[in-house]
Amino acid sequence: MSFEVIPAIDIRGGRCVRLLQGDYDRETAYADDPAEVARDWEAQGAQRLHVVDLDGAREGRPVNAAEVAAICEAVAIPVEVSGGLRTLEDIEGVVE
């Protein structure tokens, strides 16, 4: 049996964070530059990334689009994006 580990980058306020059990009041910030974190994951052998716009998930619209775009430009591996994508226009904005 084999499986693939897909690193996740959660973005809130433009920074990489982790929420404790999904609680927005209990976050730990661990990096200020999400694109740098993405490059680090790629350098460590990640084959793809999962990126979550936590502000977008909460507000129902993309919020950290610039950070998501910077990640997509920084790495050559596929990037899966979630958080705040509610309309076709939202999705098209990420794909472009």
| pLDDT recorded at residue 10 | 98
Question: What digits encode the pLDDT tens for the residues 5-43?
Answer: 999 999 999 999 999 999 999 999 999 999 999 999 999
Phi, psi of 69 (to 5 degrees): -60, -40
> Considering the entire predicted model, what is its pTM?
0.92
Phi, psi of 40 (to 5 degrees): -65, -45
| pLDDT recorded at residue 93 | 86
Q: Is the pLDDT of residue 96 over 80?
A: no
Q: pLDDT band at 94, cuts 50/70/90?
A: confident
Contact by Cβ (8 Å): 63, 27: no
Residue 40 tokens, joined = 């680090």
